[in-house]
Chain A
């Protein structure tokens, strides 16, 4: 296997890993995106206990595996780009601790809500599930917005700004963008898993989500073009990169079209394509950096953040062996739990 990879030079390995990290992030956002979205919708759409159980159980067997993409993304970032890990995590200290609280609440809410005998108890965990999901999605967007617009870093790579600096309007708008993107994703997913009256209402929710998402997407795009010049530098140098936002807009339009025509699976695929193109947009905006600093001299470049050539190679072998298995059993699991959600004796 080492010989097979000899075409990879020491210089190109960090960029191969930049791409792979992007793939892990894409996998995470597409998969956990819909179950976080189902969580956000949980606050508004289900009317009674049966509908709430249907919602929770439609993601019941899947959310856990989805979240592993985040854990693996984190592990890979730690291993392959330790300096990015060590820069971003303390910088987003408060945000990430809140993210952890949100993820913990969300996870245990699903497990605990069904065990509550009182209505109040169940409602409490329902709200925990919804707010946890909302907060997680929102914080991902805020962090992404800050990484693009630039963090205040010193020459050691330590964050010198304050929490309020991270909550400026642009990252907040990015947070809202991700919340609405996931809400749309979750609504499309639920449409596939549900039947009857609940499904009909979800169809309307999906339409509303799409409209709101399209508006915020337009707003954030204009905002980025107008106020974040660093994000578009690469596009000026390599005009072919404009194909990415064009592809993204096509995907968003197609998603909307499918949502109105109620072709749920195609809508899900198109929205996944839209999520993937947003990650590529993020990568194109950052390249050759991993984290933008407000002072460009302090930018954390991909090559400088990377681990040693040996570790990057070992990581590639690990992924080469592991990822095919992951994809095989992810497929098996999704196939096993295909079709409409049914409530069974061992459901949540």
Chain B
């Protein structure tokens, strides 16, 4: 019991949040990315009548539904944890952040969950057009969901459209133990939603999701080509996936660059942690290195001189704010953002190179038979997921120690342009009342013992789910799509009709078999 008493609820709650959200975040990029693929396939089927598109849509829908079920059930956890583990944070931000969360429920979740039923179970109950409409609504719902969640997250990073005011209880300002309770209240809803970083963050996040979707499709296509199965389906998958990945990789680089600039303007400490930029001055772009936090330097530094200054300010000699301008208690941890940021950028670069090479091979008609390249595509989906996680972990750990980041003041008034306003010792001053430290945000009424118990529980359950998820995903991909015999026919002949009716017979036979049927 004494051991448990010593357990740190903040640390354990952070670990729990990291575990649960990282596991959850496997699924939203997959469903957002695949949703667009499903819309494309459905649209092509309605436009051309080519059965291959419908078969492909059925195949991907099964994979979508699996990921969706995982995403929904692990997503509720996040909502609960704001209350259970971070109740002081909930009190502080509920008035602002809660609206975005409630809007997500009303505008996004109902849409996607409702129409998901038609997408997954409605093949024989509604016509192709209604089915396509439902597919679009599901995809739209998942994108709306991202909009509200990214808006809420961005508000924590760059708060806007609110003020901080005392809380009232029974008509009086609420004072507990001599401390006046404060909270953030909305003053301007749209300024809150479209806070300075929402749009760029959302663009970058969605791009990441589309890359994941595209690389999953390309990966499965490449796998079938390696195994010499479902050739036509596989070629089209690889082709389509490659197009999405190519556009996505370049867009991600462009939006990533813009996001770096805006991060520097609003959270220069985070940007300095990404780059291991300890000392204010011209910035080098570190390609590789090992941060030495104690001596405030990067060892074995392989860097491009002044490139970081140039990227942020288009000026080789520009002075970039380093970690030395921040008091030790206001500095983010260095290691995690430094490493995960490099993982994201590194994989992003790899994606650009791979896309260019693959497009060249495709144009020379050598892509579908080039085994090493196909193998690279198979593993790329995992790399894309890792890049999404890397970027996101870097972003969230990089804003520490703040759960709600207080704004900074810049000379000249415009963020990122002049210099940060510092006190006489050269250190940036934060207005603590405007922000909330992660250590202060944790629930007071919970014990380390409770959090440890739940953390172990989540670890075990998520471990089990991960194994089953991978197994079932593997089974589905192994089994492959059910390609109709009459695929790729635009006009229905007598034989086609016979084929369809015979497939209906076999179909109804499946209906009475326990666990029968192709997709059960």
Contact = CB atoms under 8 A, between A and B. Distances in A.
Contacts of B110: 65, 68, 72, 322, 325-326, 329-330
Given A343-B511, A343-B512, A345-B519, A89 B80 contact: yes
Contact of B84 (A64, A97, A329): A97
Contacts of B116: 64-65
A307 B514 contact: no
Given A108-B73, A301-B170, A333-B117, A82 B95 contact: yes
Interface in B61-88: 62, 65-66, 68-70, 72-77, 79-80, 82-85, 87-88
B121 A82 contact: no
A75 B107 CA distance: 12
B83 A103 contact: no
B443 interface: yes
Interface string A324-338: 011001101100110
Interface stretch (B181-189, B239-247, B394-402, B407-415): B181-189
Interface string B79-117: 110111101101101111111011111110111011111
Interface stretch (B280-288, B307-315, B444-452): B444-452
B83 A90 contact: yes
A346 B83 contact: no
B510 interface: yes
Contacts of A310: 185-187, 189
Given A89-B83, A108-B73, A329-B114, A345 B510 contact: yes
Nearest to B185: A308
B95 A330 contact: no
B109 A93 contact: no
Contacts of A333: 114-115, 117-118
A304 B172 CA distance: 10
B113 A111 contact: no
Chain B at the A interface: mostly helix, strand, loop or mixed? Answer: helix
A79 B95 CA distance: 5
A108 B94 contact: no
Contacts of A156: 176, 444
Contact of B124 (A50, A76, A88, A344): A344
B106 A307 contact: no
A245 interface: no
A322 B148 CA distance: 14
A318 interface: yes
Contacts of A294: none
Interface residues of B, number: 87
B457 interface: yes
Interface string B434-471: 00000000011110001001100100010001001000
Nearest to B117: A61
Contacts of A165: none
Which 7 residue pairs are nearest across A and B when measured between Cβ atoms? A82-B94, A89-B83, A79-B98, A322-B106, A72-B105, A61-B117, A86-B87
20 contacts: A50-B514, A72-B102, A72-B109, A79-B95, A81-B94, A82-B90, A82-B93, A89-B82, A90-B446, A101-B461, A104-B461, A105-B461, A110-B69, A158-B443, A160-B445, A308-B95, A311-B96, A325-B111, A336-B117, A345-B517
Interface of A: 48-50, 53, 60-62, 64-65, 67-68, 70-72, 74-76, 78-83, 85-94, 96-97, 99-101, 103-105, 107-108, 110-112, 114-115, 122, 155-156, 158-160, 301, 304, 307-308, 310-311, 314-315, 318-319, 322-323, 325-326, 329-330, 332-333, 336-337, 342-348
Given A155-B176, A315-B102, 8 more contacts: A67-B72, A78-B94, A86-B443, A304-B169, A319-B106, A326-B110, A343-B517, A345-B518
